[in-house]
Structure 1
């Protein structure tokens, strides 16, 4: 687990939620508080899965190159919310690796805002796609509703979109038609697998049964295996 960055996403508490699951599943968990480990090629070669929770922050060219090389060689990469979709904004190579980038989270009506994080909490749905209904990460999960940050994501078309969320038009927003963003996606990169789950702003969202199931299944699916392709 690689955690740190912006404290608002509670990187320590958030990652601690999933350590018991990993240990019960037979993983030996190592926790790193920075991205320096990404430059250690030998260590990553022995790592089957990286769970990253590193919102914003910075990464060196050597570190992102090491991360990308490890994924190409078969190391899995997964994470949630800003810990993977809003990491290292200045690194185009990192964005190329994960396939999607946080752009914004629309807010409530301006006259109702009080200056706290709840100004960006909107009721919205996570809709499982046809592909998602068949994929091992999301199979059997029904569409579900959340009241939290709704990520607007810029992305490429090399991702396998397992769930989406749609931003409606509202009179205080400048867009003129609904915009659908990927909410959960999987990605093959070389011999490696990547999973991004955009819900997860706070601990209560991570503990939502559907969100938690997706994240845990994503960890297992992304993990290097002899049959991964």
Structure 2
């Protein structure tokens, strides 16, 4: 049986959501997934639909505030084993006013000093991990994402700030995570801060990292099903946010 991937496409046009969706969708189709593309956030309240997927990919920058029930639904779906993977603002700036979403994804975007066209380096931090094995540090010309990041993330790559002089420069040099994995219940979460425009993934290292991350996140569902795992073990009647 083919695995299933659901892509939520929309939001700010400046991040080329249609092109990114086409790229991701083509890759997953070639990797033997049934791919569904949705262009309305109404799907966020459909728990049955979300839980039927192996992988959920948000490609939706800067959305308006939604009822928390939407994100509780996503949380339960990912917690049951559905993978969550995405890039750039399509994931870690997708719902900037929702703290549960930020907790799930492991970060929120706060700035990109210099905006597009900034030269910077991606430094691989975990060369023995299968998601980064064989990939060396590489240079990029794009938006350099400064993120507020969860220390529980397993960091795979970083970038050094500041490259462009701004108020944050007063703090000196700091390495900000750019690619990481994490768990949300039984679900696997993968984020790659690259992808301001679709052509960023024409860089072989950037695209290889993204492809590996999509497949890795999706595989958590198989493990959860094989082991009979459920999100129920993570549920609590205590206030969590």
TM-score (ref. length: structure 1) = 0.89
Of residues 63, 66, 81 in structure 1, which corresponds to 2:73? 66
2:222 pairs with 1:226: yes
Match of 2:108 among 101, 113, 118: 101
Residue deviations 1:9-52, cap 9 Å, x none? 01011110122211111100000112221211111121110111
1:198 Cα deviation after fit? 0.1
Distance in structure 2 (CA, Å) of the matches to 1:70 and 1:171 = 42
Cα separation, 2, equivalents of 1:171 and 1:77: 34
Match for residue 3 of structure 1 among 6, 9, 24: 9
1:116 maps to: none
Q: Secondary structure at the match of 1:133?
A: coil
One of 206, 217, 220 as aligned partner of 1:211: 206
Instruction: Measure the CA separation in 2 of the matches of 1:103 and 1:200.
Output: 16
CA contact (8 A) 1:123 1:147 kept: yes
**1:1-229 equivalence runs, <5 A:** 1-58=7-64, 59-107=66-114, 120-129=116-125, 132-168=126-162, 171-176=165-170, 177-223=172-218, 224-227=220-223
Matches of 2:28 and 2:168, distance apart in 1:
43
For structure 1, list consecutive stretches of 5 or more residues without a partner in the other structure: 108-118
Task: Count how many residue pairs are aligned between Structure 1 and Structure 2.
Answer: 216
| Distance (whole Å) between structure 1 residues aligned to residue 61 and residue 168 of structure 2 | 27
* Structure 2 unaligned spans of 5+: 1-6, 230-241
Aligned-partner Cα distance in 2 for 1:141–1:60: 41
**Compared CA separation, residues 14 and 105, structure 1 to 2 (3 A):** same
4+ residue stretches of structure 1 with deviation over 3 A? Answer: 169-174
Q: Helix, strand or coil: the match of 1:157?
A: coil
Instruction: Tell me, yes or no, if the aligned pair for 1:3 and 1:12 is still in contact at 8 Å.
Output: yes
The root-mean-square deviation of aligned C-alpha atoms, in Å, is 1.6
Match of 1:111 in 2: none
Deviations 1:86-139 (A, max 9, x none): 1111111111111111110011xxxxxxxxxxx54211000000xx21222211
State TM-score, norm by structure 2. 0.85
Q: For residue 19 of structure 2, give the secondary structure of its aligned residue in structure 1.
A: helix
Please give the per-residue CA displacement for 1:184-214, whole angstroms capped at 9, x wherever unaligned.
Answer: 0101111000100001001210221111111
Partners of 2:158 and 2:178 within 8 A in 1 = yes
Cα-to-partner distance string for 1:65-93 (whole Å, 9 max, x where unaligned): 11111010000001100000111111111
